[in-house]
Every structure is written in C-alpha cells, then in structure tokens.
Amino acid sequence: MTDVGRHPRITLYTLSEVVDVKGYVGNFDVSILKKARYVDEKECTACGECVKVCPVVRSDEFNLGLSSRRAIFTPFPQAVPSAYVINVNECLGHNPVVCAKCIEACDKDCIDFHMSDKEVVEKVGSIVVATGLEVYDPTELEEYAYTRFENVLTSLEFERLINAGGPTRGEVLRPTDRRRPRSVGFVQCVGSRSARRGGSYCSNVCCMNTVKSTLMLKEHYPDIDIKVFYIDIRAFGKGFEDLYTRSRRSGVNYLRGLPGTVEENADKSLKVFVENTATGKLETHHLDMLVLALGIKPASGTQRLQEMLGLQLTPDGFFLEAHPKMQPVDAATRGIFYAGCAEGPKDIKESVTQASAAAGRAIRLMHKGEITTEPITSMVVAEQCKSCGKCAEVCPYNAISVDVKRKTPAVVNTAACAGCGTCAAECPFSAIIMNHFTDQQILSQVHALLEEDPEQKILAFACNWCSYAGADYAGVSRLQYPPNVRLIRTMCSGRVDEKFVWEGFLSGAPVILVSGCHIGDCHYIDANHWTEKRIKKIHKKMTKLGIRPERLHLEWISAAEGVRFAAVMQRIESFRQGVTPEEIAETIEILKG
Ligand code: FES
C-alpha cells in the first residue's frame, strides 16, 4: 500500500466513496466523494502530539473494541497516508464549546476544521472492482452466545489478540479476567455452508485461518489445550495439507461436529455441548475461551455499485464474472474487472493472483489508446425510429440513448454495445438492425431449414454462449440426439424476435425451441429475462389464436450440459411426433389469416 501511495502514476483516494459512474469502456466518468479529513495529509507527519491532548475516548474499530482511540486518530498503524484523521461527529471541536486542543498541540498547523467534503470526477478507461468483504455477525446464533458470554470471541477478535501489534501485544488473554486461557475451542463454519446461518457457500478461508491460529497458539503456549469443532476441514491449497497435519501433530484435537449449546460457568469458563458425528456420542467440553470462525459476506456497498456499473451478482450476492472459466476476472460489462473477495470468498494468495490478472487485463485493453470492438453491434434506422424508448429500456449495458420527450431517434453507443440483440428483438417498429444477426439473415435461415419436410423438423434457436455450446458438447461427447433438430445460432436468446417464431410456425414447424443460458448466467447481464417475458407473451397470443402454446418451448441449457441438451431434444422429439399435419396446416391458416 505504501508503494501505491508513493507511485507517481497512481492517484490514491482515501476516505472517499464512489458516488456515480457514467460512460463506457475507455470513457468512464467516475464521481468520487472525498470526505473531509480535517487534517492536512501532506503536512501531517503523524507525530502523535494531537492524540496526547484529545479528550475524546472511543472504542477502536480496528481492534474491534478491544482497545480505545481518540477522536483524532490513524485507522491502523500502517494506514496510507500516514496522517491523522478527525471523526468530526465525535470531536468536541464541532460542538458549540470548542475544545481545539489538537490545534494548539500541532506545531505544523495541519488541523483545519473548515475543510469540507469535495466531489471530484476522474476520467478513466477501465475499472477494477476490489471492494473486499464483510464478515458474518454471529450475534443471531443463540447457541454460540456471542455477546452474551464475554469469553466467546470471533476469529477476527482473536486475530487482533494474538497479533504482536494488537491491544495485548500478542498475549492471548481472556476478556473476563485478563488471564491466559488454558483451553481454547474453535468453531468452524459460523455463517458459512448453511442457508439458515449466513450463506450456503464455503467461505474458503476459515479452515486455514483456524489451522494457522492453532499453530500460533501452540508456538506461544505449548501446553495449551486446543479443540477444533468442524464439519470437514478443507485444506485444498498449496502446502495447506502440511499445515493441517502439523497442527494435528502438535496436539490440536479436531472433533467432527458443531456445538449445539454453550453455557457459562460461575468462573466465566465455558461448557460446550456437541454431538461428535465421528463417534455418534454427545460430548461436553470445558473451555476457557471459544473462538467462532466467521464466514465471509459480500461488502455492504456491493448492491449499490452493481446498480451503478450495471453488473450482475451471484445468488450469494458477490459479483458475477463474465465466464467462470474463460473470463474469470472480467465483468460482463466491457472495461470492468474484479479482484479479490468482491467476486467471491478467497484467500490472500488468490486475491493477489486475481488482482494481478485484473491489472493485466486492464492494461491490455488500454495500452493501445484505442478500443477494438466486435462488429456485432446494433444500429438504428433513424427514419423508422419512433423514439418510444423500448430499446433503451431493455439494453443491459445502457448503450442506447433516446430522448423520448423531444422525439429524437435512438442512438447506439457502439463501444458500449455488447451485441446481445435484445433491442432489435424488442423494437416494435423494426427500427434496429443487429449487424451479423439481422432479421433478414435469421429469417432466411428459418426458410432454408424448413424448406423441405418442415413437419419432420425441430426448429431450435440457441444462444452462442450456452445452448449452442451445449449442443456442441453433446456432439463431442458422442451423445445421441434426434437428427431432425435444426439449430439457428444467435448471440443471446434475447435476440430471438417474436417474428422469428411466427415465421417458423408459418413455414410449417411443428415445434420451436428457444434456448439460452440459465437465468443469472446470461452473458449479456440479464438479457435472457427479456427472452422469458417475450416467450410468455407469445404463449398468451398462441392461446388466443387457438395454437397450442406447448409447441413453443423455452429451455435454459448451459455449455456444460451436453447431456441435458440431448435429453431436452429427445423430449421435444417425442412431443413433435404428436403434432399432426392437420394441426400444422391449421396453424398456417390461422397465421395467414
Ligand atoms: Fe445465453 Fe444471453 S447469452 S441467453
């Protein structure tokens, strides 16, 4: 961080918040609210004279309330910049009775109560989202009695206690009597791997953090009794299994099973009741201290940032990458990358690896000074556009602007357009041309594929990234699926226009399939939500017209689901065999009429 602070080409905004982001790859305008520090960070040498005279004492957030700080403080010893900051809501100087003791103590005149928050706008070409994480609050877990019993600590609190720079200078002391505990228990998966208690995902770091803590404890106090209550230990990284083995060999007792209740004795020691699932027995353990290994949660501002940048979140609330294997650090929006726990729980090594990859991807994108875009973008036919604004509403990338009041034709920002084609499919006036996937091109494919024996065919629209790849996967896996399936590839299922479906039925198709990525996995943020809505609309119209809606299928098939692709096709083929030539002819008559 010190290197970052000193780097001539890096502007570091501390005590700041991103309040708005506008623009697109290569041209982002980022509005930053720089909060007032009330101390000149360039002049302050962190001599500490101001702290000595500050009369306001508050609990220190960095040490999780295990020590105190003043109203003028540095957030933590290695903070960059190395300068003090005043929490003006705590400072007496902000009250009618002005204290101003820090101003008198500072011989460099760094303190200025007239400072105010400032908004700055930075122009940037790419953005790396590295917003970090939050930890699970175990207060809601009655059974562990956190906050009820003082000797139940969280793993973060324990981390501060055992840290040489922490409030006890590395001495592990019980909060109740400030004596060294003779026995310590660790409870794993607190707020992880349970939908009811935090998140259903594995937080990735807690097992090894506990293994490390047990080794440190054993190094400090070889005679200490340590018990770890776990579901299973996930020591998957390089050298992790060795550490785990070392911990076991050092005498740490690993017990399979999570505590059901914790009780406090008169001397403030703890009684932990647990079912040992390895032996099937109910056990009671007497411990001086209990440490809860907390799970990881998405950072609190994640949702706001997601809305600001038009990104996607996983069901767990972390940012979703463009592709889990091929683009693991890219966002679906071009020019935005992820690093660290913003994208999912990970340890330091993985975070550094991802951050390096994100920086590399950003440099690769920016170094030429110009952006190369795919030619698959949409184009507005100004004469046909009625400025209804539907295209702008459905565009997942905010790449289309249209002045509905002034009735000016829509304009597509081709740098921001990713080419899903949802705008073209939704435009009620056919005023948008999707280059390389034009109406004419797709309709010609429909006609060609249904030219001969249409009643024998299954017409399937498949999105490039998932379903088409799923079909491919079925092929390379040598899976059998009906040979009468005729695929039309679109970049996204969002491109499948209503008129393609009608044209398919008009050309004699007995059954039509529209398939795309699973909801939440669309490569164009949420374009397939529009597919879903559109298909529902078509189903309703079919019912009204007297056409069986079952003849139009919607299926979500991922690139890895070759087996599913084959199974879906078999199912649709059996359905197709039930569609009679009379029914097809009747449909054609209805649609012609
Ligand atoms: Fe597959 Fe959108 S990319 S449905």
**How is 563-581 classified by DSSP, letter by letter?**
HHHHHHHHHHHHHHTTS-H
Among candidate residues 65, 512, 130, 68, the one with its CA nearest the CA of residue 305? 130
Task: Please indicate, yes or no, if residue 148 is contained in any of the structural domains.
Answer: yes
CA of 56 to the centre of ligand 1 (A): 57
- Give 8's contacts (C-beta < 8 A, 6+ positions apart): none
Percent of the chain residues past pLDDT 90, beyond the cut: 84
Task: Please indicate, yes or no, if residue 317 is contained in any of the structural domains.
Answer: no
pLDDT reported for residue 172? 96
**Mean pLDDT across the chain:** 94
Q: Ligand 1: residues whose CB is within 6 Å? A: 463, 465-466, 492-494, 516-517, 522-524, 527-528
Task: Please indicate, yes or no, if residue 361 is contained in any of the structural domains.
Answer: no
pLDDT reported for residue 334? 87
Task: Please indicate, yes or no, if residue 347 is contained in any of the structural domains.
Answer: no
- Confidence at 372, pLDDT banded by 50, 70, 90: confident
Where a domain ends, among 86, 102, 125? Answer: 125
Residues 146, 284 within the same domain: yes
Residues 416, 446 within the same domain: no
- Which atom of ligand 1 lies nearest, measured to the CA of 467? 1
Task: Please indicate, yes or no, if residue 417 is contained in any of the structural domains.
Answer: yes
Instruction: Give me the sign of the Cα torsion angle 523, 526, 532, 538.
Output: negative
DSSP 112-145: -TT---EEEEEEES-EEE---EEE--GGG-GGGT
pLDDT reported for residue 95? 65
Q: Are 568 and 555 in contact (CB under 8 A)?
A: yes
Q: Are 252 and 271 in contact (CB under 8 A)?
A: no
Residues 461, 582 within the same domain: yes
Residues 82, 192 within the same domain: no
CA of 465 to the centre of ligand 1 (A): 6
- Confidence at 41, pLDDT banded by 50, 70, 90: very high
Count of structural domains within the chain: 4
Bridge partners (DSSP) of residue 33 are: 17, 119
Write the pLDDT tens digit of every residue in 23-37. 888 999 999 999 999
- Which atom of ligand 1 lies nearest, measured to the CA of 527? 2
The pick from 326, 461, 463 for probing ligand 1's pocket by mutation, whose C-beta has the most ligand atoms within 8 angstroms, reads 463
Q: Is the predicted pLDDT of residue 96 greater than 60, yes or no?
A: no
Q: Is the predicted pLDDT of residue 39 greater than 90, yes or no?
A: yes
Task: Please indicate, yes or no, if residue 384 is contained in any of the structural domains.
Answer: yes
Identify whether 81 is preceded by a cis peptide bond (ω within 30 of 0): yes
CA 148 vs. chain centroid, Å, equals 33
Question: Which one has a higher pLDDT value, 1 or 131?
Answer: 131
Residues 416, 451 within the same domain: no
pLDDT reported for residue 427? 97
Task: Please indicate, yes or no, if residue 91 is contained in any of the structural domains.
Answer: yes
Residues 587, 514 within the same domain: yes
- Which atom of ligand 1 lies nearest, measured to the CA of 522? 2
Residues 416, 445 within the same domain: no
Task: Please indicate, yes or no, if residue 328 is contained in any of the structural domains.
Answer: no
Q: Terminal CA-to-CA distance of the chain, rounded, Å?
A: 71
Q: Is the predicted pLDDT of residue 94 greater than 80, yes or no?
A: no
Residues 193, 119 within the same domain: no
3-state secondary structure of 97: coil
3-state secondary structure of 538: helix
CA of 559 to the centre of ligand 1 (A): 11
Q: Is the predicted pLDDT of residue 499 greater than 60, yes or no?
A: yes
Q: Is the predicted pLDDT of residue 93 greater than 80, yes or no?
A: no
Distance CA 193, CA 287 (A): 25
Question: Which one has a higher pLDDT value, 566 or 523?
Answer: 566
pLDDT reported for residue 309? 87
CA of 374 to the centre of ligand 1 (A): 17
Distance CA 537, CA 393 (A): 18
pLDDT reported for residue 230? 97
Q: Please compute, for residue 587, the number of CA atoms within 13 A of its CA located in the half-sphere on the CB side.
A: 26
Q: What is the pTM of this model?
A: 0.79
- Which atom of ligand 1 lies nearest, measured to the CA of 491? 3
Residues 563, 497 within the same domain: yes
Show the domain range for 158. 134-297
CATH of the domain at 520: 3.40.50
Q: Is the predicted pLDDT of residue 465 greater than 90, yes or no?
A: no
Percent of the chain residues past pLDDT 70, beyond the cut: 99
pLDDT reported for residue 217? 97
CA of 122 to the centre of ligand 1 (A): 33
- β-pairing, 432-434 vs 378-380, is antiparallel
Where a domain ends, among 434, 454, 479? Answer: 434
DSSP 33: E
CATH of the domain at 255: 3.50.50.60
pLDDT reported for residue 275? 97
The pick from 320, 423, 437, 492 for probing ligand 1's pocket by mutation, whose C-beta has the most ligand atoms within 8 angstroms, reads 492
- Which atom of ligand 1 lies nearest, measured to the CA of 523? 3
pLDDT reported for residue 222? 96
CA of 19 to the centre of ligand 1 (A): 30
Distance CA 137, CA 199 (A): 12
DSSP 250-285: TT-EEEES-EEEEEE-TTS-EEEEEEETTTTEEEEE
Distance CA 116, CA 101 (A): 20
pLDDT reported for residue 306? 87
Residues 119, 138 within the same domain: no
pLDDT reported for residue 522? 87
Distance CA 88, CA 95 (A): 9
Residues 171, 147 within the same domain: yes
Give me 477's structure tokens.
């896996």
Q: Is the predicted pLDDT of residue 139 greater than 60, yes or no?
A: yes
Residues 468, 513 within the same domain: yes
The pick from 423, 490, 523, 565 for probing ligand 1's pocket by mutation, whose C-beta has the most ligand atoms within 8 angstroms, reads 523
Phi, psi at 570, each rounded to 5°: -60, -45
Among candidate residues 266, 188, 175, the one with its CA nearest the CA of residue 231? 188
Distance CA 523, CA 516 (A): 10
Q: Average the pLDDT over each of 80-84, 233-237, 304-308, 532-536 and give the range with the smallest value.
A: 304-308
Write the pLDDT tens digit of every residue in 334-350. 899 999 999 999 999 99
Where a domain ends, among 253, 281, 297? Answer: 297
The position carrying tokens 């501060």 is: 160
For range 472-500, the mean pLDDT: 94
For range 234-241, the mean pLDDT: 94
